Structure 1
Amino acid sequence: MTVAAIETGPLSTDDAPARSLPPSMVERMTLILDAFDAPSTRLTLEQVARTTHLPRSTAHRILDQLVRLKWLSHSSFGYALGSRALNLGGTGGNHLELREATAAVLHELQLRTGMVVHLAILDGADVRYLDKVGGRFATVVPSRVGGRAPAQCTALGKAMLAWLPAEQVEDRVMPVPGRQTSRTICDLVTLHRELGRIRDRNGLAFERGECFSDIACVAAAIRGPEGPEAAISLVGDAHTALERVAPLVVVAARQVTQELYPMVRLRAAEPAWN
């Protein structure tokens, strides 16, 4: 990307900064991009202007051009790193559309529950985290965007494995990894039994202390026409009453499924999320 790709313009007289601006457009762009300090960071225009100390109109003009050049993306919830920035970091892959489609849903889940919310995909025998929206418990949860965990011992992974044919499950998890904790599922018979229970619950997956002994999760898959595309989870400590928030996860996954893959036929919907 060249400096010429982003046009400069005069500052309006009613928008003059109280402090001197960085002299070059490259420095102003860098200030804005540096504000997005993690792949999951989302900021409003006001937050960007406050963080960078740029006038609001200047920040807005540069943000618009960074969005057009795909360094940033923009949705009703705010701005986030775009496909160019994510691909440079090796964490975005081809999942920008999925992250954008789930952004508002993940944010709403976190606001309603106060819990940590994850978005992940299956990547071989692992889940790979695409997004993490934190609550007060976020620093305790040892996950990070771009990080991985064994699929068979996470609610996210089990929620997706449940919608794969048995032979594909075995292809992914064989040989079954060793125990993460004393609760980790380490044999195929037990794993297939657990996946059957998840299907009986219309895709709702639970995990208590299977990946980390002091963490519990509930998850549901986002399903495409050819199988599970991703999963959403809520995360709490080992004593969290997951059954209370489980319906919210199912409805959230349904919303994204129906937005991205309206051709997918799902069972009768759960009560509406008011």
Structure 2
Amino acid sequence: MEVNLTAVDFSLEHAGSPVKRELPPSMIDRMTLILESFDSRGALTLEEVTCRSGLPRSTVHRILDQLVGRGWIDHASYGYCLGARALGLGGSDTGHRRIREAAAPHLHELALQTGAIVHLTVLDGNEVLYLDKVGGQFASSVPSRVGGRFPAYATACGKAILAWLEPERVDALYGKRLPPCTERTIGDNAALHQELNRIRKRRGVAFEREEAAPGIGCVGVALRGVDGPVAALSLAADARSTRLEWVAPIVADAARKITRTLFPDQDRDDAVPGTPMATTAPLGSVVSKAAGGR
């Protein structure tokens, strides 16, 4: 039998005089109050969620932890925000559409400029979700599709996003051992953290060489707002005939342009330095044969 519980609400709204409030009788009601405290744009502190939901702080903290563990809520140093599963109920349709619209002209320009395949992805749980794929005649040779998913740790675009998450968040996404996609896939959590550290030292440029599929190489850069990474852009080509370092500056430049479109008021330099050969590398077609990848 359900029992109506009561609790004292010490939220900021009633800081002067604690008020007794009746808790919703079911866990679903309490989860709904917490989820309805968020919108699709900003992050909230624990105190803000407590104030908006009208629930006791301890209850909010416990339920938020459970929602984070199941992907409904994301938690980072800047606070709590809606996670991929919550956004997938409707909010992400708008958010993903906005990202796709901002990126579309740059994806096509990048594909035409390089002759390679270009992907736009977001992190969904511990996988990357493909929002767009551009690549002309070579696209059909690549084992990726719009709406498809792949382990983030095996892809350049996924690693580019993971590099900007807190290490604890990455640990929560994966166990100690990582299921391999190929013999070159990163195999454990420690090696993944080493790779993410190298990406941060390159100021966000991630490389993947036959880690997702044989013969495929890729370079990726995350699109970052003030609250963290929101998506990633990647360019894929033949791993054996393409110098990915040569095209990294082009991918980074496209990522900067998309980021400026998404966040025009953001005052932060997301420039990613090129490699020593970047200024002398040819910018024509980087694909000498069918190319693809993550």
Q: TM-score range by the shorter chain?
A: 0.5 to 0.7
One-letter code aligned to 2:245: E
Task: Output the CA distance in 2 between the equivalents of 1:266 and 1:100.
Answer: 22
Q: Which residue of 2 aligns with 1:169?
A: 170
Of 233, 242, 265, the match for 2:268? 265
For residues 123 and 203 of structure 1, what CA distance do their matches in structure 2 show? Answer: 19
* Contact preservation (8 Å) 1:115, 1:136: no
Q: Deviations over 1:214-268 (max 9, x none)?
A: 1100000000111110000001112121111110110111111122123252255
The residue correspondences of 1:164-203 to structure 2 (distance < 5 A) are 164-174=165-175, 176-203=177-204
Instruction: Give the residue type in structure 1 aligned to 2:235.
Output: L
Q: Which has the higher contact order (CA 8 A, sep 6+)?
A: 2
Q: Which whole-Å CA distance do the structure 2 matches of 1:209 and 1:269 have between them?
A: 23
Partner of 1:146: 147
- Kept after mapping to 1: 8 A contact 2:206/2:219: yes
Q: Give me the identity figure in percent.
A: 52
Matches of 1:217 and 1:171, distance apart in 2: 26
Structure 1 unpaired stretches of 5+: 1-86
**1:243 corresponds to which letter in structure 2?**
E
> Counterpart in 2 of 1:224?
225
The two structures have a TM-score, normalised by structure 2, of 0.59
1:248 counterpart = 2:250: yes
Structure 2 residues not aligned, in runs of 5+: 1-87, 284-294
Distance 1:150 1:264, change over 3 A: farther
Q: What is the CA-CA distance between 1:135 and the residue it aligns to?
A: 3.0
Q: CA RMSD in A?
A: 2.6
In 2, Cα distance between equivalents of 1:248 and 1:173: 31
Structure 1, 131-140 or 204-213: larger mean CA deviation? 131-140
**How far 1:188 moved relative to its partner?**
1.2
How many positions carry a matched residue from both structures?
187
Contact 1:223 1:257 in 2 (8 A): yes
1:48-90 CA-to-partner distances (Å, cap 9, x unmatched) read xxxxxxxxxxxxxxxxxxxxxxxxxxxxxxxxxxxxxxx99xx
User: 1:94 deviation in Å?
Assistant: 3.2
Letter in 2 for 1:192: H
